[in-house]
Structure 1
């Protein structure tokens, strides 16, 4: 099943993750918040799509890295 998000991230402020890889490979992800939704995208290819999570899903994701 394909889910299409209707969340609009136009004009959102995107921030690069502090956990993204440094160096020459340019592996970086960006995150933006829009209401109760959180968007995650590849900073090298921002027009290729955005993963969208609810704020609850995002909180669970962050807790996984703090365990």
Structure 2
């Protein structure tokens, strides 16, 4: 699992500058990492590429 300092976390372009309740994601090279933007020091959840791609497909399909 990569160290958080080596990951480039970013918010969705749908998040406004004043939006406080957001999640951030970063590419890990083998999947994705997701964390709470209000508490980044707590850590992140890592997802393998296969799971992350299924999640994104479901979001795009409107299922989630």
* TM-score, normalized by the shorter chain, greater than 0.5: yes
Q: Give the helix-richer structure, 1 or 2.
A: 2
Displacement after TM superposition at 1:18 (Å): 3.1
The DSSP-based 3-state class of the residue aligned with 1:39 is: strand
Equivalence map 1:1-67=2 (5 Å): 7-9=1-3, 10-20=5-15, 22=16, 26-67=20-61
Unaligned runs of 5+ in 1: 1-6
- Give the CA RMSD over aligned residues: 1.9
Q: How many residues align?
A: 60
Q: Which runs of 4+ in 1 moved over 3 A?
A: 22-25
Scaled by the length of structure 1, what TM-score is found?
0.73
- Are the structure 2 counterparts of residues 32 and 44 from structure 1 closer, same or farther at C-alpha, using a change threshold of 3 Å? same
